[in-house]
Amino acid sequence: MSYDVESVRAQFPALKAGVAHFDGPGGSQVPTVVGEAVAATLLSGISNRGHVSAASRRADGVVLEARSAIADLLGADPRGVVFGRSMTALTYDLARTLARTWAPGDEVVVTRLDHDADIRPWVQAAEAVGATVRWVGFDRETGELRPEDVAAELSPRTRLVAVTGASNLVGTRPDLPTIAGLVHDRGALFFVDGVHLVPHAPVDQAVLGADFLACSPYKFFGPHCGVLTARPELLETLQPDKLLPSSDAVPDRFELGTLPFELMAGTTAAVEFVAGLSPEATGSRRERILASMEVVEAYEDALRRDLESRLAAIDGVVLHGRAAERTPTVLFTVPGHDPAVLSELLAEEGVNAPAGSFYALEAARWMGLGAAGGIRAGIAPYTDATDVDRLVRAVERAATGA
């Protein structure tokens, strides 16, 4: 299938400002249809969920539609879709809930490749109950996280393993199905942080082997909220803290307070937008999502390879991470130049490529970059060849002082 990037770009009002956005890993730009969905819901007659009034039925419909949309995006069960303020908040809530079933001597496994939102909640929950935290490193040169290195940290006392679907720092995509098999052989649960994977590739929760899969709609054109998915029967076994009068049904028992209906409507619109990224895609929404994301993945990967080769040709530029499977995420540094200062110079030329460790602090330290990290150029479905040209020219001028 073909990919019409100019047609896609035309649907993003923010791009009219003329800025080349490589800051998608921190939050994508938003198409008109998503903004309209949020506004329409805010301005409609709406109330708490129910079945009596039109307003309450409208609210209930928004929630059910959002659960169905996320299920189609992730290959999940809509009855196991939980919405929250952010992926970080949802992960903390889940970690505290699961930790009630842990005891001293139990073990939790985390990796140094992950965003801190898939590290600290588990570390802190384990420490609170006296469980042991086991760490998995990765290859500092390539950025690869090997299944055998995860296997080496597993034991009969392993209760949960948390692994990223894709590194938000260097793009590495670990072999999740293989890791899932190792984890499940030990009788442990497998949590996948899909925040940086979902915007760039077709995703099927069952194929990944994830017991829990978390993501952030604002990374794939949606509003700022978080999503956690799991099998409904697994969620039924968990009892989170909740208000006494609030519903004890699944997934409602995991959603604290009144849901942000306007954000959920925006999430549904974002998923619909993803399904239409390839107008040639046909079939159910799930089928159109898979077809569109296959096209997007190929398009973004071609841009990423072009960007990497051109950056590598600039004297002094150092690229970090070269995993065999990775998202279109390029991290680079220029020795002798502060990444933050270089990022400011790029911004002055209308190129948004931020600098830092991007909350992947353990990964940045493991690679010897420290908290300063590097400059991250993230390619999105609306990135075009002209954007890449602008970034390369701006980096060359900033790095050489030309």
Query: For residue range 201-222, what is the model confidence (pLDDT) as tens digits?
Result: 999 999 999 999 999 999 999 9
Give the whole-angstrom CA distance, residue 74 versus residue 178. Answer: 19
pLDDT at 402 over 80: no
134-164-87-284 Cα dihedral, nearest 10 degrees: -140
- What's residue 400's pLDDT? 79
- The rounded mean pLDDT for the chain is 97
pLDDT-based confidence at residue 269 (cuts at 50, 70, 90): very high
Cβ contact 194:213 at 8 Å: yes
Give the whole-angstrom CA distance, residue 342 versus residue 12. Answer: 27
pLDDT at 401 over 90: no
State pTM to two decimals: 0.98
CATH 3.90.1150.10 placement within the chain: 5-30+285-400
Domain 5-30+285-400 has CATH 3.90.1150.10: yes
pLDDT tens for each residue of 12-22: 999 999 999 99
Cα distances (angstroms) measured from residue 119 to each of 255, 266, 332: 22, 29, 24
Give the whole-angstrom CA distance, residue 150 versus residue 135. Answer: 9
Cα distances (angstroms) measured from residue 373 to each of 345, 369, 401: 17, 5, 21
Give the whole-angstrom CA distance, residue 67 versus residue 180. Answer: 25
What is the mean pLDDT of the segment spanning 301-319?
Answer: 97
Quick count: other Cβ atoms within 10 Å of Cβ 100? Answer: 14
Give the whole-angstrom CA distance, residue 306 versus residue 360. Answer: 25
Q: pLDDT over 90 for what percent of the chain? A: 98
What is the mean pLDDT of the segment spanning 293-300?
Answer: 98
Give the whole-angstrom CA distance, residue 193 versus residue 168. Answer: 10
Token pair of 79 as six digits: 């009855």
- What's residue 268's pLDDT? 98
Sequence-ordered alpha helix ranges (H) in 175-284: 176-185, 205-208, 232-235, 261-275
Cα distances (angstroms) measured from residue 339 to each of 185, 357, 371: 43, 10, 11
- What's residue 2's pLDDT? 85
CATH 3.40.640.10 placement within the chain: 35-273
pLDDT tens for each residue of 143-172: 999 999 999 999 999 999 999 999 999 999
Domain 35-273 has CATH 3.20.20.30: no
Residue from 171, 194, 191 nearest 180 by CA: 191
Cβ contact 353:23 at 8 Å: yes
